Structure 1
Amino acid sequence: MNTQVEKAGGRPSKGIDRNKVIAHSLRQFARLPGLPDTKKGVRSYQSHVKSDPWLPLLFVVCFVLPTLGGAIFYGLIASDRFVTEAQFAIRPTVGTADKATPDTVGTNAGVIKATVAQETLIAQEYIHSRPLVEAVAAELPIRDWFGRDSIDMFSRFSPEKPVEKFLKYWKRRVDVDVESASGIMSLTVEAFDPDESLAITKAVMADTERMLNDLSMRSRQDALDVSARVLKLAEEREAQANAALNDLRNREGVLDVVKSNTATIKAMSELRDSRTKLAIQLAVLQRDLGPQSRSIIDLKQQIADLDANIAKVRQQLAGTAPTEKRRLSDALTRFEDLEHERENAEKYHRDVQLAYDRARIVAQQQVVALVPIVEPVKAGSSTEPRRILMTSLVTAGAAVLFAAAMFTRRMITS
């Protein structure tokens, strides 16, 4: 390309002509290859926008309207939600039968089989179950609370809908999480009034605790019934042992062979002690008094009477007839056997009675409790929805949507 400025022939060029020539030369120089056009991208974009009338419409539909709608909804329409949070752990109550050792009568009364981990998982599932929703609804008008006209239409629940729909709505408003390491449960309840949120939280905790105790009620009642039957058998066994012992006493003509012999031996021991004391007194008096003294004669007579009584008691113990000896010996043997059986029956009856009392106490008390770590308190202000955060997320999403729409449009038109 020729970029030289031609000379004016003959006469000098005027000023205006020179300016035109210089401008023409500069334009020719700017068109040389290798020099970038800085306004080419802007002109290309402007020409693309002018040639594609859908882009402004996509901008309005994909970015402006969603951003404006999100700002209006979260800024003006969305209802405030008040959150109540509680943290608690499930623990066995102190002194229950799950801490006791097995008893000696084999009734294992009231022993709690479920572990704390199992009860925690059961409670987590129960909080999102239909029985809990129905139990709370029987105590509190939760359908009316969540269906007030003052709540925005997107968050409001229609009270006329069935319980299955309300259960899904319940799972959006009530959340429970379990920390696997410690077993601590975190319960979060959202409502549109702080008092209602607090009341629902307390009702959920109370019904969950009641359910956990009802889980073991059947086993505890079965243990109580078994203990009652075993107690009745123990009473019958003790009564039979006492009846057999009384029958032996009446049939053999003795009230109590062991007690009779014991009383006789005790009487002989007392007689011997008395004779020993009198003999000592007699020896002391004989040093100072003569044998014809009245005191000496009286002491000798008392000693002689004691000797006669001792001989009589000894004869009573020894017996004179061999048949009587054998009868008493056989009666004593049978008496000892029956007495041993009666003692065993009494001991067994005491053990069974203790087991029955323990089972009865456990059946009447709660065996697990929800121990609060963070007590539920009334919310001072609403924490949901997070208006600025949600509006920012909607704006970012709208921008991504518009960029994707532009990219798709260019791919289609190119």
Structure 2
Amino acid sequence: MPDTIQAPPLEEKPFVKNTALRSPLENKESSSHASTIKKKLEKLKLAHKLRATFLTHQTGQWFTAIVICPWLLCTIYYTLIASDRYVSQASFLIERSDSGGGSIEGLSLFGVTPQASNDQRILETFIQSPDMLNYLDQKLGLKQHYMESADWISRLSPSASQEDFLDFYRSHINVRYNDTNGMLDMEVQGFEPEFTKQITDLILIKSESFVNEISHNMANEQLKFVRSEVELAEQRLKDFTRRLLNFQNETGLLSVEEQGVALSGIMNELQAELVRNQTEFQTLTSYLNKNSAQVIALQQRIRALQSQITTEKDKLVDSGTTSLNDLAARQQELQLDLDLATQAYTSALVALESTRTEASRKLKQLVVVSSPYQAQDAKYPRVAYSLTNILLILLMLFALARMIRATVYEHRD
């Protein structure tokens, strides 16, 4: 077969880009496209460098594990998952009805005295107590709200104990005593604005009931004590009165002292009569015979007076029997006991009346200065504040880990 004649190969000419024939618009789009490609390449290079730095280099791996990953997780939680917490606030104080001019300047507007701070602090403790928590749970179902209205991290665990429930409640309520004006500032957090306001309203209602109950209980206890003292004083008065009456009935004398005075008067008269008769007897014997009838009669009269004086004297001071002096001493003792019992009973009655008055004047009441309101915007969580603090803490942990690692390597070498 004849040889096949092959055509010479075509010479390939290089393609020359003729930019002169293209429009300015096409040139502009081409340069923009090239700039975009260049930026993408730079980003890819930057991403490659970051990847090499944070995933390949050991320090970068530590920084990624300790700082970046936890912070990204926290960012996702706070921005996408975390439940909003609404706040209801109230300010109140305990006022006594007898608070007056003893107030410190600046506190007189509210009738607050330094001693009143004890009442506020007692109420602060009660608001955070298990009694208040049980009351709120019975009225509003607070535990169910904490378990169902929040995200899976912020909510109360269904298996939480009573102590965990109390700690969770205390972490969502803040009661602070204000030393400046003597008031209690309360902030209640909840996951629904209307429910949060209901919690605050119920806390104020229960607090007012608690204040009234404590005040009335103290007043009633004081009145009860004073009444018991009055009853005791009255019983003692009756006992001493009965003893004195029994003594008078036994002796047959209304007043031994008066009887003694009467006997003393009789003895004085007898003594005077005796002296007169003795004087007359001496006078008669000076000029009459002793056997005369007049002298004998006068002698008999003198002996009768002496005998009567001795008898009356024995009634007063005879040591062998119960004398009038002993009876007078006993009656004076009984009368003194009766007088003291009467004074004690009178004082007890005055104290009872005074206690009743003071109890009515010193009753306390809860004064709400700033009423709670229903929030429209959530106050918590504060995303920027929380993430900034978390980042700072993570950076501190990373620095601490680097320090520990450097120390270990230094000792190893």
What TM-score do you get using the length of structure 1 for normalisation? 0.50
**Which structure is richer in relative contact order (CA contacts within 8 A, separation 6 or more)?**
1
What TM-score do you get using the length of structure 2 for normalisation? 0.50
